[in-house]
Structure formats: C-alpha cells, structure tokens
Structure 1
C-alpha cells in the first residue's frame, strides 16, 4: 500500500511502491488520509493467484474513506541477492507471504526455505542491510535498483497472468457518471435465515446487474448469534459482512433501485464507492 497526492500520474506510479516500500503499519496509511496528511491512499485488495487480501477488506469498513478508483497491475517477481551471491549459495528466501505463494513452484525447485516478512521491499532491504550471503529476496526489479541488489532470476511467478487489483481511497467520493463503465462497491449484513443471501443477490439479478466480486468477512463485534435468543439450546451461527462489487454506476437509476430494495431486509448497508472501471493493464 502507498500514499499519493492528487496528481493522476503519481496514482499510476505509486503502484510500484507496493513492491518497493516498507509498510509495517497499514492502518497508518489510511489514518494519514483521514488526518489530511495526504490526499490519497492505494490499497492492494486482491490478487489473481493469492486471492483476496482479507486484512485490507477489514480496513475498508474500519475507516471512513471512499473508493475513487481501481487499477489492475501485472506483478513480475524477481529473485534478488547481494552481489557475488549465486543461486546455489542460497539456503532461504524472504518475502511477503503472498509473493512467496505466487512463486511456490520456482522456490520449491530451488529447495529454498521460505521466510515470510511484512512486504517484498522489506525483504530486499533486510538482506541488503545485513549483507546476507545465504539468503535471497522475492521482490521487484525496482527494489533491486533501490537497494543495490543483483537480479538472479526474473519472472519467477508461477503464472504469467499474475495481477494485483488496487483501490484508490480518498476522503470524499467522486461524482459517479454514466459516460463510461463504472463499478460500485458495497458492504452489507443480513439476518440469519433460509435464502436470505439469495434474496440479497437477487436484487441485482432481477435488474440485470452483473456482480464481479463477493467476499464474506466475520462481523467482529458479534461473531456468534443464537437462532433463538429464548432457547439456550438453539444452534449458534456466525454473523458475516458481505462485500460486493457490481458493474454499474450509482448515477444509474437501476443501481439506486437495487440498493433501495436491498435496504428492505439488510441489517446494515454502506456504499464504499462508485468509480470508473479499469479496462486496461499497466
């Protein structure tokens, strides 16, 4: 995750920082936007190989920020080491857990012990600072330039189609339009009962609105609930929040009607943002 200012060019280039910045306290970045220290934050939300980044979904609800854009970024992992170190010298490799998972086949073939750290750039900085001879890092080519490391191997990810989706967050929402494709992200909760989730999703299907993502996360303040409070022997259920992305703008009357319908039986509903769809790959 990275911080950026208002400049659109910085919004694009900052995606590189997720692979080159050390991020120990992700919540600090969103707090910095809320506190007017910076104007925007960029949050990685899902990867085509590693799946959803659950911690960041939780952050979307915890902070009162709005999604104002998205970018899908092709990830290219490299195996880095200090100069003079060869692949056969390596015993272990450091990186973010998702990066290690995305390079599992290559790292297994090399017989390297994997050690997870906070992020890819942090791994590169660690082996450079400590001048390690038996350890490498999975990180970007930009991290190699920044920390003076040698690239032992490029494109070591298991799948060439390795894409991370990022969200741009701001204090104020943008005004949604209908002049180009838009996506809207919402989060809601429901009462326990048969077919309740089906009914919730049906409000979109009935209006021919396509869903592109659905993610469930535990409702932390009340994780367990009995089906009948008056019966101590009744089964208990986990309460969940449902994060949904759908292909429509909040300026579209169809979307407004769908959410109005959803509000009839949702116990909680919040629009996280309505923003232009990223239709190109960087």
Structure 2
C-alpha cells in the first residue's frame, strides 16, 4: 500500500515535487489548501505523511510553519532540499510581448524580481499557490498574463513554458520537512530539531547554547519566534548534528532542561540531500 502524503497547494506545486523526490515518486499525494490542513490530515490519520517548506535559501524561514510545528504534536522524520527552478508559463500562442500581468505566490515573485523588472509595464498579482496560478490562467484563458511556477505545473495543465530558470539566483533551494505521527527510525547521519523557551534572566541564552558547545555538538540553525500573549518573550528552534539518543546529545538536552523553562524534541531524522525537481508523468 502506497503512502499518502499531504502537501499545501495544487498538483504541480514545488511541495509535490519535493514529496516525489523524497519518496522516489512511489506515493499518493493529497493537495491541501493551507498548511494547517496538512498537519490536520496527518494527525487524523487520513494521510500517513505530510510535507511542508520550512526555509528558502534566498528568502529565509517560513515562520507560519515553525508556529505550526509547536501547535501540533507531530514528529519531523525527514528533510529534503529542493532546487527551485522557476518558469514563465503561458497559454499556447501567448508571446512575451503580450504579457501585462504575472501571477504567482509572493515568495516566487520575489525570487524572480530581476526578470520581472526586465519586463516593462507588467503588473505583479499575488496568488495563493504557484501551481494554482497556472490553473487559473488556463481556466480563465488569460491571453495577456503569465504564471510563475514549476515545469511540472506547465505539463499538468498543458501550457507552454516561455522561459525557464528566471529566478534571480540559481542557487535557490527550499528545505522541506517530512511529518509523521511516529518517530523516524534511527539514522547514523542524523540531525535533531528542538524548541525551547528560556527564563528571563541574564545570560540564559548563552548558557542554553553552551550546553552544545561544551560537548562539541555542531549547531546548524537557530530561529526565534514570539510567544503569544507574552510580548518580547520567545521560543527558540534549534537544529543540531546528531541524534537525540546519542550520548553527547542526550547529555546536552538533559543539561538544557535544567536551564530552559520548557523543551520539546520535534524530531531526530536523517540529514536531507539536495535534489532537482523532475517532471513526472501522471
């Protein structure tokens, strides 16, 4: 029986491409309108896995998904870093000079800013999803507009790729997390994600991070998010090398529990590889 993987967006979205690269295409996918619905689908058991973007190499973190990781009781069980190649997609017969409007998700529009500026007099119109923008220009037969999305979305809706690789920086990657109700199997090349809050005392963040330095544990990322209802207090999300059950990591986390006001392990999982999103046949 194939796994069912929930993702936010329409078929052809980059999240779907990341899911197929991570699971080697042997999955059923379940598009969801919002990120919250991805979490709910996995929690309810309707989907065995979920996939969410957590950060982009050019635009930074997706803060909403950090907040959802804390709000829901799921485990991070994997990651993949997908290279994002944006394409300009139009209805057949539309030429570059015909384009007066470009539709896409705001991060995609921002990542293609240089290309968009090269087209004079073009209006930028945000859409909720990259692939959703492609579906819209087809369904409405828009002849003076284009969408920015993946080549997969163009293939899915039988539209034309006018230009490919229009992102401002070609080293454009999005890191996606895989979510599950169960923990990941132990990996020898693991990383761990935790979230903790500190007490409001001098030097507490320095002490919190020192528990890892004392044991030569490499920190990979730190992200702060405000605690709702407590202005100017923060949760800290931390990625570090190693599995939570490894002796040095376990001792560091025990030490951190003595310092922090709260601590939760979000998951230990295998370090993700970089991948190019291929066009898959339906």
Q: What TM-score does the superposition give when structure 2 sets the normalisation length?
A: 0.87
Say if 2:134 is the partner of 1:124.
yes
Between the aligned partners of 1:191 and 1:102, the Cα distance in structure 2 is 38
Equivalent residue, structure 2, for 1:3: 6
Q: 2: CA distance between counterparts of 1:122 and 1:8? A: 19
Aligned twin of 2:279: none
1:187 aligns with 2:195: yes
Q: Is contact 2:6–2:32 with CA below 8 Å preserved after alignment?
A: no
Which residues in structure 2 correspond to 1:63-74 (within 5 Å)?
Answer: 63-74=72-83
Corresponding residue for residue 102 of structure 2: 93
Which whole-Å CA distance do the structure 1 matches of 2:59 and 2:204 have between them?
A: 29
Structure 1 unaligned regions, length at least 5: 225-237
Cα deviation for residue 223 of structure 1 reads: 2.7
Distance 1:245 1:86 in 2: 46
Secondary structure in 2 matching 1:160: coil
Instruction: Report the structure number with the largest CA radius of gyration.
Output: 1
Pairing partner for 2:158 from 143, 148, 159: 148
Contact 1:203/1:258 (CA < 8 Å) preserved in 2? Answer: yes
Tell me the alpha carbon deviations over residues 171-226 of structure 1, each in whole angstroms, 9 at most, x when there is no partner. 0112434xx21100000111123221111111111111111111111111x232xx
Alignment equivalent of 2:43, drawn from 34, 56, 63? 34
Q: Does 1:81 align with 2:90?
A: yes
Q: Is 2:245 aligned against 1:269?
A: no
SS in 1 for 2:186: coil
Q: Aligned match of 2:221 in 213, 236, 249?
A: 213
Check whether the contact 1:190–1:197 (CA below 8 A) recurs between aligned residues.
yes
Say whether 1:201 aligns with 2:194.
no
Q: Aligned equivalents of 2:56 and 2:26: distance in 1? A: 17
Label 1:29 to 1:279 Cα distance change in 2 as closer, same or farther (>3 A): closer
**Match in the other structure for 2:230:** 223
Runs (5+) with no aligned partner, structure 2: 8-18, 277-282
Q: TM-score, normalised by structure 1?
A: 0.87
Q: Are 2:82 and 2:274, in contact at CA under 8 Å, matched by a contact in 1?
A: no
User: For 1:264, what is the secondary structure of its paired residue?
Assistant: helix
How many positions carry a matched residue from both structures? 259
2:237 to 243, 247, 258: 243
- Structure 1 residues 22 and 175 mapped into 2: Cα distance closer, same or farther (>3 Å)? closer
- C-alpha RMSD over aligned residues: 2.0
Is contact 1:188–1:242 with CA below 8 Å preserved after alignment? yes
Match of 1:281, SS state, is strand
Q: CA contact under 8 A between 1:121 and 1:139: conserved in structure 2?
A: yes
Q: Note if contact 1:23-1:118 (Cα within 8 Å) is conserved in structure 2.
A: no
**What is the CA distance between 1:281 and its match in structure 2?**
3.2
In structure 2, relative to structure 1, the CA distance for the partners of 1:187 and 1:12 (3 Å cut) is farther
Offset of residue 55 of structure 1: 0.7
